[in-house]
Structure formats: C-alpha cells, structure tokens
C-alpha cells in the first residue's frame, strides 16, 4: 500500500468516526478546541432564546389553567369522561372564599354553570389538629362501637381523636337559594351532594343543582349554608353542640377556553 493510499484510508476512518460531530456545529467546535489545547468556549444563550422559553412555559401554564378544573376532575371521576368533557364547555368561576364555623374552615373552591345547572366543589378542613372530620358515610353507621359497622380506617380515626383529646365533627355545606344579577333568589328544593374523605384529614364536598330553570346571567348570587355537628364515640350526635351559618357568595363564571 502506498503512502497516499494509507493517508486516504486514515482520512476516511476519521471522517466516518466524526460524522455525528458534523451534524452539531457546536459539538464540532468543542472537539477542535480540545484537540488544539484551547480553553473551552462558554456557550451563551441569546436573549431571544430565553424569551422564547419563557413564552413557551407561559403558554403551557395558560393551557393547563384553562383545562385544569377541580369540578371537572371530581365529577369526571364520579360520572365518567363524557360528563367531564361536557362540563368543560360550561362557564367556570374560581371562588376560593373561606368561612370558619366551629373550628372548621369551609372553602368553596370552584363553581361551573352549564345548561341552567350549577356544579361545585369545595374543601372542609379542621383548624385544630386534634379534631377529626367524620366522613358522611361514617355517620350512616348507627353504632360506632360495633366493629362490623365501621371500616378499619374509621375506627383508627375515632381512636386518634380520643388519644389527642379532640372532637369528632361531621360537616355539611350546600346552597339553599340562588339568583342572578341581583334578581330574585330561588329556593333550591333538591340539591345533590356528596363528600370524599382525603388522606390529610380534610373533606372534599361537592353539590349539583339542576332541577330548576336558571337563565344565563352575568353575576350569580348563591346563599350557602354550613353545618358542623359533634359526635360521641358511640356514634350519636351531641345535641348540645354544633353550629350553623349562612352567607352569600357572588361569582361571575366565564368559559374555560377563553370564549366570551
């Protein structure tokens, strides 16, 4: 093999080995700099690139906010994906208003108006770490001392409250009347409601009111009521304790996809 042929073979081998470098100019620059013993060049990110990244993240956040809904998530889990998609076409209002009653914070998180109906989700949380909130299904058991009447998690809840010297509290939170644009407040005779006990000891409450004709408006007024009852370890309501309160919530729902 001649010297020329040997040089050609070596050149082809080198070119083949560094083919991937040619596809990345920045990588090629670093390889050549290292071969020459030069100090590595610090790559600077342009202001345009930074702004593009920020804009992209903002758009992602906006898109998430538009389609992130506690009401959609909760009712979707209850009634299925089709119902969740149906709710997404409604008007939503983030409330976040909190009322404290007998040591319990009631927060109405979000309301969705859809086809003359109201769907809402909120959270109840005991302010004192010693108190335990009793889930709705637990109150259905007539005798809490009967081991067959309660799940293990509820027996643990009772024991925990007793050990801490706290109270066992059941909660309820729903609307009683509703109106729009400062008009007449209509009584809600039939409101569906449910509760979900959370791992952190709080309770997610939801309600839906769809058995009436509520025309579309701009600002809605809804009279809410909250109730707290204290229970004995035997599963009976302590009649001498408990509290009840009403208040008005105003909200202006808007389409979740930005429509007007």
CATH code, domain carrying 207: 2.60.40.1640
The pLDDT confidence band at residue 217, using thresholds 50, 70 and 90, is confident
Residues 128 and 161: beta-carbon distance below 8 Å: no
**Res 132 pLDDT > 70:** yes
Which H, E and C letters describe 179-213, residue by residue? EECCCCCEECCCCEEEEEECCCCCEEEEEEECCCC
User: What is the predicted pLDDT for the residue at 233?
Assistant: 84
User: What is the predicted pLDDT for the residue at 13?
Assistant: 52
Specify if 209 maps to a domain. Answer: yes
Number of domains in the chain: 1
The pLDDT confidence band at residue 149, using thresholds 50, 70 and 90, is confident
Domain enclosing residue 233, as ranges: 91-255
User: What is the predicted pLDDT for the residue at 18?
Assistant: 47
Average pLDDT of the segment spanning 32-60: 54
Question: How far apart are the C-alpha atoms of 191 and 126, rounded to whole Å?
Answer: 25
User: What is the predicted pLDDT for the residue at 137?
Assistant: 86
Specify if 59 maps to a domain. Answer: no
- Both tokens of 6, joined, read 């040997």
Which candidate, 58, 62, 24, 59, places its Cα nearest to that of 43?
24
pTM higher than 0.75 for the full model? no
Question: How far apart are the C-alpha atoms of 203 and 220, rounded to whole Å?
Answer: 25
Per mean pLDDT, which of 49-63, 139-153, 170-184, 193-207 is the most reliable?
A: 193-207
Specify if 85 maps to a domain. Answer: no
Question: How far apart are the C-alpha atoms of 58 and 135, rounded to whole Å?
Answer: 39
Specify if 24 maps to a domain. Answer: no
Could you give the dihedral angle defined by the CA atoms of residues 237, 238, 239 and 240, in that order, rounded to the nearest 10 degrees?
Answer: -160
Using CB atoms within 10 Å of the CB of residue 46, give its burial: 0 to 12 exposed, 13 to 18 middle, 19+ buried.
exposed
Residues 133 and 201: beta-carbon distance below 8 Å: yes
Specify if 70 maps to a domain. Answer: no
Specify if 159 maps to a domain. Answer: yes
Specify if 164 maps to a domain. Answer: yes
Specify if 60 maps to a domain. Answer: no
């Amino acid at each position: 093999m001649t010297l020329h042929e040997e040089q050609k073979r070596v050149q082809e081998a080198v070119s083949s080995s560094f083919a991937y470098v040619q596809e990345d100019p920045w990588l090629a620059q670093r390889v050549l700099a290292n071969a020459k013993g030069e100090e590595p060049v610090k790559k600077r990110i342009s202001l345009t690139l930074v702004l593009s990244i920020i804009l992209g993240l903002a758009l992602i956040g906006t898109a998430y906010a538009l389609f992130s809904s506690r009401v959609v998530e909760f009712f979707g889990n209850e009634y299925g994906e089709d119902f969740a998609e149906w709710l997404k076409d409604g008007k939503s209002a983030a409330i976040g208003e909190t009322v404290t009653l007998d040591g319990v914070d009631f927060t109405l998180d979000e309301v969705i108006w859809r086809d003359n109906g109201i769907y809402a989700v909120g959270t109840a949380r005991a302010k004192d770490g010693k108190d335990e909130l009793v889930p709705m299904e637990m109150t259905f058991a007539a005798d809490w001392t009967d081991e067959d009447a309660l799940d293990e998690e509820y027996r643990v809840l009772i024991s925990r409250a007793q050990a801490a010297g706290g109270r066992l509290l059941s909660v309820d939170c729903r609307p009683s009347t509703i109106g729009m644009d400062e008009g007449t407040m209509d009584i809600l005779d039939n409101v569906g409601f449910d509760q979900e006990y959370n791992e952190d000891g709080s309770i997610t409450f939801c309600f839906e009111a769809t058995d009436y004709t509520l025309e579309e408006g701009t600002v809605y007024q809804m009279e809410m009521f909250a109730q707290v009852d204290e229970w004995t370890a035997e599963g009976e309501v302590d009649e001498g304790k408990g509290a009840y309160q009403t208040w008005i919530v105003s909200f202006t729902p808007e389409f979740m996809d930005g429509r007007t």
